[in-house]
Amino acid sequence: MPKIGINIATGSLQQQEMIVGIDLGTTNSLVAIIHPESRKPVVLKEHDGNALVPSVIHFGEAGLVSVGDEAKKYLVAEPHNTIFSVKRLMGKSYNDVRDYSSFFTYKVIDDNSESLVKVQVGDTFYSPIELSSYILKELKARAEHILKTPVTKAVITVPAYFNDAQRQATRDAGRLAGLDVLRIVNEPTAASLAYGLGLRNDETKTIAVYDLGGGTFDISVLRITGGIFEVLSTNGDTYLGGDDFDRAIAQYWSVKLGLTDEELNTNKNIAQELRLLAEEAKKQLSSVTEFKGSIAGEELVLTREEFENLAKPFVDRTIQCCKNAMQDAQLHVADIDEVVMVGGSTRVPLVKKSVAEFFGRALHDSLNPDEVVALGAAVQADILAGNNKDFLLLDITPLSLGIETMGGLMDVLIPRNSKIPSKAGRQYTTQKDGQPGMRISVYQGERDLVKDNRKLAEFNLTGIPGMPAGLPKVEISFLVNADGILVVKAKELRSGVEQSIEVKPQYGLTDEEVEKMLLDSITHAKEDIQIRALVEAQTEAR
């Protein structure tokens, strides 16, 4: 696979201003920097030694907003006013989260199932972008307090499977928090940077990064050669994580207590208390074989074996994603040199056992799995500051990008798993004499017909001079920038008429849609080839 050199270091910043790395997590968030003396990444800790900021926001009386540990105190007492797992809502419509709505103890608005979700607290409506900005403001304030210097620039990490809308939402949240977001980086890629610091320049390794956090799962296969990081494939699930373990335990206990879903929906305090106790049980069962707790005077018991039976379906789903990632990378399990474990949920013994069995080797978990993503974000921030030219990061596009051509065919300009930043262009022409314009329809997917793919955007190139059909030369160019945002340009080369659009879909693909699109492209491959041949023949005949 060819290596692509990208000069991402301007050299102008150096150490004149602080660029921080931020892991904006579902359950916890944290901020890290490169230590100016040791030149090693370190997470910023308060005087109590705690680096993690719970991703929880509480709205109190008189407009008082608290974030982190202070907000977490209100999860049981004021569940309607206390927001958690907001990352699950980023860039989502109500249709995307409807099946999980009972998980949220606060009110997720469903007045328009096609638009982005809002959260209602009292009489006020908040977007997930606004809510995330409160967490980022807290991290910014923490960094400024510890470093005793203003912090205005950051690198923020997101799951590899986040689509355009979710990445843009994260960037907007940073802007609301007063941060110039220099780069959006995939979490597994950031983790690989943190572990890659110790690699020798003459060493080549293929690494699998298994990242199971509170709300998302990613598996990435990376090749590291002489300090160059190449992402060979990514796979994952934006609705799979430790929260699912908690919910499974809570549901198991609610049956034991004789509580119905209706009762849990009306009594949010009990639901929240169950969720918190389930989370505690999950943590303790990593080191003990039995957990005992109580709610409203009722004793609740859970053994590790019972917990593993509840967790197994979710762990099995992660292993299936691992298989998919290996197929996409065109590698066998034996080709993997090292397996990196990331995310607090990887502490669960069943997870470690299942991953070790699948890859057939010992796991690499020497760094704190809660901190490793933030540490990698700090390394990326250092690269952007021009202080570390030893590393180069190459990410990929998860699905093919193309335009609609005559007969409704999909013409792919940037194939799936292409390196980003990526640019591609192709020339097209008109179908009719004197045609004054051309409609450019942009699609994402793997099928040969655009009707089977997902439409991202559409715009018109107008002002094409009157010429016979086939004479105008219209160049369509796609540019996917470092954050995975697509810019499409159309230019008529003879006249210089030009039009462009930045593709920011209102909300993006769910993980199920991505999986379905990939599966459909395989199952319908033969049928698609036949249809494409027929359409092309019909088009030629015209």
Catalytic residue positions? 23, 87, 187, 211
Report the candidate in 406, 422, 532 with the shortest Cα–Cα distance to residue 488.
Answer: 422
Question: What is the C-alpha separation between 496 and 67, in angstroms, rounded?
Answer: 52
**Length, in residues, of the chain:** 542
State the greatest distance between any 2 C-alpha atoms of the chain, in Å, as a whole number.
Answer: 84
Token pair belonging to 53:
């900021």
Name, in order, each residue with C-beta under 8 angstroms of 378's C-beta and a sequence gap of 6 or more.
20, 21, 32, 33, 34, 41, 42, 155
Residue with tokens 């016979």: 468
Report the candidate in 128, 175, 209 with the shortest Cα–Cα distance to residue 508.
Answer: 128
> What is the DSSP secondary-structure string of 179-225?
-EEEEEEEHHHHHHHHHHTT--TT-EEEEEEEEE-SS-EEEEEEEEE
Angle, in degrees to the nearest 10, between helices 242-257 and 304-328: 150
Name, in order, each residue with C-beta under 8 angstroms of 490's C-beta and a sequence gap of 6 or more.
438, 440, 459, 461, 474, 475, 476, 477, 498, 499, 500
Question: What is the C-alpha separation between 82 and 438, in angstroms, rounded?
Answer: 50
Burial class from Cβ neighbours inside 10 Å (0-12, 13-18, 19+) for residue 5 reads exposed
Report the candidate in 21, 29, 22, 20 with the shortest Cα–Cα distance to residue 214.
Answer: 29
Residue with tokens 């045609």: 435
What single-letter amino acid sits at 84? F
> What is the DSSP secondary-structure string of 99-115?
GGGGG-SSEEE-S-TTS
Q: Residues 402, 377: contact at Cβ < 8 Å?
A: no
Question: What is the C-alpha separation between 80 and 100, in angstroms, rounded?
Answer: 16
The residues that bridge with 499 in the sheet, in sequence order, are 490
Residue with tokens 């301007």: 10
Residues 41, 45, 47, 50: is their CA dihedral positive or negative?
negative
